Amino acid sequence: MAADKLIIFDTTLRDGEQSPGASMTREEKIRIAKQLERLGVDVIEAGFAAASQGDFDSIRSIAGLIKDSTVCSLSRANDKDIARAAEALAPAQRKRIHTFLATSPLHMEKKLRMSPDQVYEQARLAVRFARQFTDDVEFSSEDGSRSEPDFLCRVLEAVIAEGATTINVPDTVGYGVPEQYGAMIRSLRERIPNSDKAIWSVHCHNDLGLATANSLAGVMIGGARQVECTINGLGERAGNTALEEIVMAIRTRKDYYNLALNIDTTQIVPASKLVSQITGFAVQPNKAVVGANAFAHASGIHQDGVLKARDTYEIMRAEDVGWAANKIVLGKLSGRNAFKQRLEELNITLESEADVNAAFLRFKELADRKSEIFDEDIIALVSDEEHAHGNEFYRFVSLSQHSETGEKPTARVTFSMDGAEVSCDGEGNGPVDAIVNAIESKAASQAELLLFSVNAITTGTQSQGEVTMRLSKGGRIVNGVGADLDIVVASAKAYLSALNKLQSKNEKLNPQI
């Protein structure tokens, strides 16, 4: 029997971006979207067009660039949001409007303050309006896993009748249990007369660590044929279903699932590393599929078994998910054309030849200091280059720092502030504390530092250090990322990067489904 197709709907750029501090620039979103297209994702939810002008612009840019995937925008179930989504998606070859409305008693009463009849009517009319712009309309019943089955059947039957082609029943708060959630999807499909007119989808959150299990139960027990997920399981609170886990479960256990996928699994690890680098959310070492230890064997018994027969302890091959992708690609003798070609292979597009030349100069500087250049180094380097030329309020120039046992560390930092170069001094309990205090003596942001983390971009003592600083101010939380061979310099870059994001006035709405 021919395998059914499982649609992979990636929402890294929308739901993933709702992780506190994970907001991305338009250029970063475009880079991730291109990698998702290379990965073979069927649907890319590029954002929420009505949230901000920045989101609208990002969706429109992605819609004009992506050819092989459907580009989707989220919208609330109202005409203004839907029209805005349609406008942003206009350049897309294949486009989807994804509209949502809460259906659980709790959400209807406490959040929407609407009666069930009002929710029913608004859902129906929203889908009808969206169908004016595209034949591909998805409807999500927010907090679906806690909705009353009879009412959910009534709403979903109506939106299918109005032309919804995908029906998503989200486990919005991660409350679902696999067997129960799967049985609920199956019951809805059996009870709703026109259920066969739409593709059924699952969207699960990981609050109880059950997102992947719930999604797979929705597929196998419920008959869903679309899974909504994110790279690295990125997302609000405990995150979303991890794309890499769903894909490799389906692929590795094809004997059980018997489902077909469009995904090029060798692009999973490159996608994971790109999203991690851009958002500043490091992947835990023991994370399934994409963690640094996912294919490491410390036990002598395991090592012996793998050497004798790989499948004794490995159910997947590391190279099948892209772990071989970070081989040395360039060195200090590499020319500009080789560098430019590698940028193209990494789906990195710089706006002008001047930008390519500037990035190449930074590459040569790095190659003089580091003998082996990996893909991750190039990604970090280009990201730094974009920040340096992004008309940012703060920009790192240089620093000197002194630490000595028994003495309080000091730092002198030079950076530009609104185009004017300033130098400042600070001291602290450590070199990073001294740098932050120096910068704050001029910036005076009064932001609270929530997180400071250091991650090696590649392996070895020559690896660039990637620093993430998470700041909070006035209810806003932002991540700043900086990379350098000197982690002290990387820390200064990360702090200034975070200050730039706080400086930005782009506010976003954060609907959650």
Helix axes 79-89, 53-65, angle to 10 degrees: 40
Which pLDDT band holds residue 148 (cuts at 50, 70, 90)?
very high
For residue 206, give Cα distances in angstroms to 102, 172, 176, 373.
Answer: 19, 9, 10, 36
Dihedral (CA of 442, 445, 450, 451) sign = negative
Asked if 49 contacts 75 with a C-beta cutoff of 8 angstroms, the reply is yes
Report the mean per-residue pLDDT for the chain.
90
| Confidence at residue 142, expressed as pLDDT on a 0 to 100 scale | 95
**Amino acid in position 484:** D
Q: What percent of the chain has pLDDT over 90?
A: 67
DSSP state of 460: S
For residue 491, give Cα distances in angstroms to 21, 222, 343, 395, 488.
Answer: 17, 48, 26, 13, 5
| Confidence at residue 306, expressed as pLDDT on a 0 to 100 scale | 44
- Measure CA 52 to chain center: 18
Give the range among 128-142, 239-253, 339-353 with minimum mean pLDDT: 339-353
Kindly tell me if the per-residue pLDDT of 303 is higher than 80: no
Residues 37-47, mean pLDDT to the nearest whole number: 97
| Confidence at residue 308, expressed as pLDDT on a 0 to 100 scale | 56
Provide the CATH topology of domain 326-513: Double Stranded RNA Binding Domain (3.30.160)
Q: Where is mean pLDDT largest: 22-36, 300-314, 361-375, 377-391?
A: 22-36
Return all residues near 240 (Cβ < 8 A) that are at least 6 apart.
11, 15, 16, 203, 204, 205, 206, 211, 228, 229, 230, 233, 234
Residues 4-8, mean pLDDT to the nearest whole number: 97
Residues 122-146, mean pLDDT to the nearest whole number: 97
Kindly tell me if the per-residue pLDDT of 287 is higher than 50: yes
| Confidence at residue 311, expressed as pLDDT on a 0 to 100 scale | 63
Asked if 92 contacts 81 with a C-beta cutoff of 8 angstroms, the reply is no
Asked if 94 contacts 68 with a C-beta cutoff of 8 angstroms, the reply is no
4-279 classified as CATH 3.30.420.140: no
Kindly tell me if the per-residue pLDDT of 509 is higher than 90: no
| Confidence at residue 391, expressed as pLDDT on a 0 to 100 scale | 60
Kindly tell me if the per-residue pLDDT of 307 is higher than 60: no
DSSP state of 174: S
| Confidence at residue 239, expressed as pLDDT on a 0 to 100 scale | 96
Q: What distance in Å separates the CA atoms of residue 109 and residue 117, rounded to the nearest whole number?
A: 12
Where along the chain do its domains lie?
A: 4-279, 296-325, 326-513
Return all residues near 311 (Cβ < 8 A) that are at least 6 apart.
none
Return all residues near 499 (Cβ < 8 A) that are at least 6 apart.
393, 394, 439, 443, 445, 447, 471, 480
Kindly tell me if the per-residue pLDDT of 329 is higher than 80: no
CA angle (16 as vertex; 265, 163 as ends), nearest 5: 85
Pick 434 or 18 by higher pLDDT: 434
pLDDT digits over 68-120, tens only?
999 999 999 999 999 999 999 999 999 999 999 999 999 999 999 999 999 99
Residue 46: count of CB within 10 angstroms of its CB:
33
| Confidence at residue 441, expressed as pLDDT on a 0 to 100 scale | 96
Q: What distance in Å separates the CA atoms of residue 32 and residue 479, rounded to the nearest whole number?
A: 17
Give the range among 44-48, 294-298, 477-481 with minimum mean pLDDT: 294-298
Q: What percent of the chain has pLDDT over 70?
A: 91
| Confidence at residue 439, expressed as pLDDT on a 0 to 100 scale | 97
